[in-house]
Structure 1
Amino acid sequence: MPKLHRRALLGATAGLLAAPLAAPRLAHAAWPDRPIRMMIPYGGGGQTDVVARIVADAMSRNLGQVVTPDNRPGAAGVVAAEAVVRSPADGYTILVGTRNTQAINQALRPNLPFAHARDLVTIGLYATTPNILLVHASVPARNLAEFIAHARANPGKLNYASSGIGATTHLSMELLSEKAGLEMTHVPYRQSTQGMTDLLAGRVQARLVGLPEAEPVKADPAIRALGVTSPRRSPNWPEVPAIGEVVQGYEALNLFGLMAHSGTPPEIVLRLNRSLNEALASAELRTAFARVGADPAPPNTPEQAEDRALAQANLWVPMIRRLNLSAQ
């Protein structure tokens, strides 16, 4: 399959992109002069929500206006993205998401009411997080190798939760199933926290979930942590191996960033990018990220963020097509 190509991005501002941390001269000198809404595509309490709220708080401080989180769950990000596309292109409504998530949604839902490449522009990236494989204590597996053996011996009998079809918690488990030769039943949830509730109750047997969402249940005896999806162990869970230690070549990270309506004036996109980079440099944000197991992105331009997100999309979209996944 041919690779996805990065669209021409902010061509008129190439000079500004060469020095992303320099303050652009705004034609909209008073911007922002009112609060900004940050549309979060999942419900409260999940990893996307937890990390986005840390970023919103940090950006509120350096923008001088409140960045208000607004949870709009549904269709693995489509509901929130459509809300941004239908909002005025003035930078006052921004989206938690990346070109990666939008490319995934386009692959799963070819009849979307908007075109992600045309209607959304990248602001920047702010974090990556690994997922962690949690199983209910009733599963007779003390480690990842035993879990794989148990799942292979019981094809179709294990249920696993995700935050929705096409969410990284879903695709990460599909990747594990593909590489390890497993057959499990997918149970998607609209609310990520409900999936965790059902895992703790034993109504589903397994779940890959982001570290920020797993931290509150770390000591719960109802669950057992078997592996993280990052290439190395997480300092927050040092006793839990990387899945790649058992399943060769396995790696899956969650990528988080901000987007805006594509008609947003370039100088406002760059002002938001500068605010995001300032937030990433703050000690308060870095401490908060470390507490929940998120890794801050390095300073990045909109173009750099776009390139990295599309590199991720080029991993996931072929898998969606190979497995014939669909959210229709």
Structure 2
Amino acid sequence: MIVPFTPGGGADITARFVAGPLGAMLGQPIVVENRGGAGGTIGTAAVAQAPADGYTLLYGTPGPLITNPHLMASLPYDAARDFAPVSVLTKGAYVMAVHRDVPARSVAEVIALARAHPGELTYASSGVGAGSHLAGELLCIEAGIRMSHVPFRGTGPALQETAAGRVTISIDSYGPMLPLLQAGALRAIAVTTAERMPELPDLPTIAETIPGFEVTVVNYVCVRAGTPQPIIARLNEALLRVLSDPALDERMRAAGSSPPQGSTPEELGALLRSDLRNGAKLFAAPASRPADPSKPKGKTGMSTEVVKFEVSDYVAVVTLNRPPVNAVNAELRDRLIEIFDAATDRDDIRALVLTGQGKIFSAGADLRQRPDASVAGQYWHHNRGTRETGNSIKECTKPVIAAVNGAALGAGFGLMAACDIMLASETAVFGMPEIDVGLAGGAAMLNQLLGKSFTRRLMFTGDRLPAAELHRLGVIDSVWAPDELLPAAMRMAARIAEKSPLGIKYAKNSCNFVELMSPKDAYRFEQNFTYDLSKTEDAKEARTAQLEKRKPDFKGR
């Protein structure tokens, strides 16, 4: 049974309660395997790629099959077609809680605090698209407030960060939250269901302040589509017998979990389809980062104060434009996110080049906008903006080439590292000089690129590495004379633009996902991707053009 989140969350707890007796009922042990990451997408993809024999079960939550399809530009599975429903496991509520030092003791006071500090309050979720993310977005929409979403790789780390005071609010499962509530690290505010929880009769519902508000948490079991119906029926029968056991009900209630509640496969299928439709309405315009209609988005030739953006022959050039050092500030981050989000949906863009104006790529974050750590949530909101900028580059389905024309330091180094291919000028230097201004950061990124020794050298000393050194280490693809750098990047982008758009999309998704997988899972993932791609019209056109010795005419089909 694959749980697509890290250990310690509500899904993990319930899965382990169910797996033991279910294995006994079926006559063979069931192993719970946690595969967290990408809002539950990685673990869910593993089930979609497993044999359709009923031996690999998905422990489902709202994220992977209900909300992720509306939040992620592409998924390595089709939520509506790649899974067969088996049974509901639980239906329950989330609890809204705040850190003990937050000066709010009711939903009304939380709303007032958010309105007094727009965008500064933060709420944690177990991942992008998770039910806790859905609950936070719905609260923002219904209350007319703006809070910043801080996603984690599971409920456990999300709750720990809230308990530590690094996030303001958590709306998540009651079971794993219970010890933190009992210890006084968190303070419960309300529940998300339309009616109060029997376990917490004195805790009000959010609906008592915001009429009509309701988020019901549904956990369930699915298998891969194509699993024979007799196997699904056998699994459903065994699950219903397990879930009807009073002893299991008692254990789950004692742990703070929602009580067990089974269903037929048909009932679960109808529920998933209904929630998928409702998710489309909810996430049509997310509340935690609302679009600004006064600013242009995705237009050819768009140019703003901080970013220049030009498109020609399927290649977009994105130029950081905050001379003299192209320091990264909030406005520049917002523009980059808009540009790379829009590029995913634009047929006239097949590759992008990211570079800097003048002789510097980016010397790092603008120190004049350093957040005030004494203001609750401001520091974490700032860092979340930085992460989201990098994620917008990684999640853009079009390849992004960094043409590093000078110093790439701190946040500038991070922008470069988020790109798919990195070229640099002979004059470029790279480093993380945070230590020079009394800070520390970037270890995870540096470790992935450089390994232990170089990472610690840069972190501890603030040293800069020349482009030639990063080229020797295999971090940079190639090094060029300053006047040859941008033409070289454009030639590479043009070569990419000649390939099948659909093939490039598949290739980039594959590269992104396999970074987080074991070699065995990565091989299976790529094989399934390649198989799906081979059936497309673009793949057929590529093969035909090769045989006929002509240039292919791709339609992105």
Compute the TM-score of the two structures, normalised by the length of structure 1.
Answer: 0.84
2:259 — aligned with what? 295
1:239 aligned onto 2:202? yes
Aligned position for 1:193: 156
Q: Spell out, residue by residue over 1:6-31, the C-alpha distance to the aligned partner (whole angstroms, 9 max, x if none).
A: xxxxxxxxxxxxxxxxxxxxxxxxxx
Matched, 1:117 2:75: no
CA distance in 2, matches of 1:82, 1:133: 30
Tell me the residue number matched to 1:262: 225
Structure 2 residue identity aligned to 1:184: M
Shift of 1:60: 1.6
Please say which of residues 309-318 and 161-170 is displaced more in the overlay.
309-318
Measured in 1, the distance between the counterparts of 2:133 and 2:74 equals 21
Contact 2:98 2:189 (8 Å CA) reproduced = yes
Distance 1:230 1:193, change over 3 A: same
In 2, the alpha carbon distance for the partners of 1:315 and 1:94 equals: 25
Give per-residue Cα distances to partners, 1:253-298, cap 9 Å, x unaligned.
111111111121111111111111111111121112222230322x
1:97 to 27, 41, 60: 60
Distance 1:256 1:104, change over 3 A: same
1:295-314 alignment runs, 5 A limit: 295-297=259-261, 299-314=262-277
Would you say the 8 A contact 2:14–2:257 is kept in 1? no
* Match of residue 11 from structure 1: none
Query: Cα deviation per residue 1:207-259 (whole Å; 9 max; x = unaligned)?
Result: 10111221222212222110000111112222211111111110001111111
Residue 234 (structure 2) pairs with residue 271 (structure 1): yes
Alignment of 1:52-67 (within 5 A): 52-67=15-30
**1:166 and 2:145 correspond:** no
1:76 maps to amino acid: G
Kindly indicate whether the alpha-carbon contact (under 8 Å) linking 1:277 and 1:300 is maintained by their aligned counterparts in 2. Answer: yes
**Distance of 2:8 and 2:62 partners within structure 1:** 23
Q: Counterpart of 1:319?
A: 282
Displacement, 1:100? 7.3
For the pair 1:183 / 2:158, whether they are aligned, the reply is no
| Count of aligned pairs between the two proteins | 290
Shift of 1:98: 6.1
C-alpha distance in 2 between matches for 1:128 and 1:207: 19
Show the counterpart of 2:94. Answer: 131
Contact 1:163/1:169, CA 8 A, preserved across alignment = yes
Task: Check conservation: 2:162, 2:168, Cα contact below 8 A.
Answer: yes
Q: Does 1:146 align with 2:109?
A: yes
CA distance, structure 2, for counterparts of residue 280 and residue 207 of structure 1: 28
Unaligned runs of 5+ in 1: 1-37
Q: 1 CA distance for matches of 2:220 and 2:66?
A: 14
CA contact (8 A) 2:125 2:150 kept: yes
Task: Report how far residue 110 of structure 1 moved.
Answer: 4.2
Distance in 1 between residues matched to 2:183 and 2:117, nearest whole Å: 26
* 8 Å CA contact retained: 2:68, 2:128: no
Q: Secondary structure at the match of 2:159?
A: helix
Matches within 5 A, 1:209-220: 209-220=172-183
The answer to whether the 8 Å contact 2:92/2:258 transfers is yes
Quote the offset at 1:304 in angstroms.
Answer: 1.0
Sort the Cα spacing of 1:100 and 1:78 in 2 relative to 1 into closer, same or farther, 3 A: closer
Check 1:98–1:239 CA distance in 2 against 1; reply closer, same or farther (3 A cut).
closer
**Aligned amino acid, residue 206 of structure 2:** I
Instruction: Give the deviation of 1:176 after TM superposition.
Output: 0.7
Between the aligned partners of 1:105 and 1:147, the Cα distance in structure 2 is: 27
| Corresponding residue number in structure 2 for 1:226 | 189
- Unaligned stretches of 5+ in structure 2? 290-340, 342-390, 396-557
Q: How many Å separate the matches in 1 of 2:202 and 2:17?
A: 27
Change (3 A) 1:99 1:196: closer
Moved over 4 A (4+): 324-327
RMSD: 1.8
| Matched residue SS, 2:43 | helix
1:21 paired residue number: none
Query: What does 1:27-66 align with in structure 2 at a 5 Å threshold?
Result: 38-66=1-29
- Please tell me whether Structure 1 or Structure 2 has the larger radius of gyration of its CA atoms: 2
In the alignment, the residues of structure 1 paired with residue 7 and residue 226 of structure 2 have an alpha-carbon distance, to the nearest angstrom, of: 29
On the 8 A contact 1:99/1:122 being kept in 2, the answer is no
Deviation, 1:313, is: 2.2
Larger mean Cα displacement after TM superposition, 218-227 or 313-322: 313-322
Deviation at 1:115, TM superposition (A): 1.7
Q: Counterpart of 1:76?
A: 39
